[in-house]
Amino acid sequence: MHHFSISPCLHVPTSLCPPAATGSDEEDDSDASTKPIRSGKKNPASLFQTGGDPPRERKTRKKAPKTAESEEETLETQQKNSNKKGKGKKSKKKEERPLSPVIEVDNLEKFVLSPAPQGVTIKCRVTRDKRGMDRGLYPTHYLHLDNDKKVFLLAGRKRKKSKTSNYLISIDPTDLSRGGENFIGKLRSNLMGTKFTVFDNGANPDRASADWSNVRQELSAVVYETNVLGFKGPRKMTVIIPGMNSDNERVPIRPRNDNDGLLMRWQNKNMDNIIELHNKAPVWNDETQSYVLNFHGRVTHASVKNFQIVHGSDPDYIVMQFGRVADDAFTMDYNYPLCAVQAFAIALSSFDGKLACE
């Protein structure tokens, strides 16, 4: 039988998490949290379809073509995690983490805004660069495909003179300016740093054209539930995204004002054309005395920032996962219906220092 251990998703205080027992951490294959990423339910794409009018877009955002890797990719995501848990110990056998299938990125702007092809997990790596005068406070984050070619996808950096946390996202690693042609999206938080909205590079509603087609779309929103009483257990995330139409394209959400955005619609339980996702709750593991999630070999370091995002109707279909593999390196994997900009912005929200929910 193939043995494996599960990556701890985060550290909790010693009062809640006594030291892990010494000796073997190896678990039986039958552990509840080792289900394969692919579930046996009906096509996961149906979870995200909400109808909506077909988008009238300036830019074409067609679904990426199906790739031949779909079958082999599904098998690959079912590999069990072979990382050992211990106090800062690395696994004895250094195993290569499963890499991304071959993804062709001909048009970068189109690729990062297009949903992942159905049946293919797009595996990426996020690196954090703290070098330079103010990079400690304002590090730049880079997103690359996690494969041999390490294709650059996106860069993100916090804006300095902003009242709230505000990240610019660019398709050029050297140009992180709001006015540049490489600006592709932004992530904006509320004053508390607990709610975030992700926009594309469209215009502010104040500068709308007559038919409103140039106005920015909201691509996602993230809500972190504040942990009361200082309990530092797993933090809870809610992710709100636009639904998909029958052509597997995002339904455009173009709010006319701040009261019409994804967050307000969700708070008012107006769920037309929007989908609610959550982070998968980690399971307490008595043997390792920690909360654990199975990242299938893609995450090697315990961190409060490690998470998996799922739909409540099919918790085995991992829409996105993010986790630490080194001090300033993380893996970020996403599936249909997310695009790279949505997933990267959700990951950036988890870095934010003002989070009142650590």
pLDDT value at position 142?
95
Listed in sequence order, the residues at least 6 apart from 184 whose beta carbon sits closer than 8 Å to its beta carbon are 109, 112, 113, 154, 169, 170, 171, 200, 201, 341
CA distance 264 to 258: 8
**Are 316 and 293 in contact, with CB atoms under 8 Å apart?**
no
143-152, 214-223, 271-280, 330-339, range with the lowest pLDDT? 143-152
CB proximity list for 229: less than 8 A, separation 6 or greater: none
Query: Beta-strand (E) ranges in 58-212?
Result: 122-129, 140-145, 152-158, 166-170, 183-189, 195-200
User: What pLDDT score was predicted for residue 245?
Assistant: 93
What are the CA-CA distances from residue 304 to residues 10, 279, 282 (Å)? 4, 12, 11
Phi, psi of 119 (to 5 degrees): 85, 0
Residue 174: per-residue pLDDT: 82
User: End-to-end alpha-carbon separation of the chain, Å?
Assistant: 38
Give yes or no for a cis peptide into 18 (omega within 30° of 0). no
Q: What is the mean pLDDT of residues 24-38?
A: 34
Distance in angstroms (rounded) separating the CA atoms of residues 149 and 25: 35
Answer yes or no: are the C-beta atoms of 314 and 44 closer than 8 Å.
yes
d(C-alpha 163, C-alpha 5), whole Å? 43
User: Which range, of 155-169, 238-252, 270-284, 338-352, averages the lowest pLDDT?
Assistant: 155-169
Q: Is the pLDDT of residue 42 over 80?
A: no
Q: Hey, what CATH topology would domain 158-163+189-351 get?
A: Tubby Protein; Chain A (3.20.90)
Q: Where are the domains of the chain?
A: 158-163+189-351
Ranking 25-29, 49-53, 327-331 by mean pLDDT, the lowest is 25-29
**321-327 long-range Cβ contacts below 8 angstroms, 24+ apart:** 321/295, 322/126, 322/346, 322/347, 322/350, 323/7, 323/9, 323/295, 323/298, 323/299, 324/299, 324/300, 325/97, 325/125, 325/298, 325/299, 325/300, 325/301, 326/301
**Is pLDDT of 112 > 90?**
yes
Looking at per-residue confidence, does 196 or 31 come out higher? 196
SS3 category, 61: coil
CA distance 318 to 297: 14
Structural contact between residues 187 and 167, judged by C-beta atoms closer than 8 angstroms: yes
Please tell me what DSSP assigns to residue 53. Answer: P
Is the pLDDT score of 260 beyond 70? Answer: yes
Predicted confidence band at 45 (pLDDT cuts at 50, 70, 90)?
confident
pLDDT tens digits, one per residue of 162-190: 777 889 999 998 887 767 778 999 999 99
Q: How confident is the model at residue 334 (pLDDT cuts 50, 70, 90)?
A: very high
C-alpha–C-alpha distance, residues 156 and 199, integer Å: 13
| pLDDT score recorded for residue 18 | 30
Q: In angstroms, rounded to a whole number, what is the distance separating the alpha carbons of residues 324 and 326?
A: 6
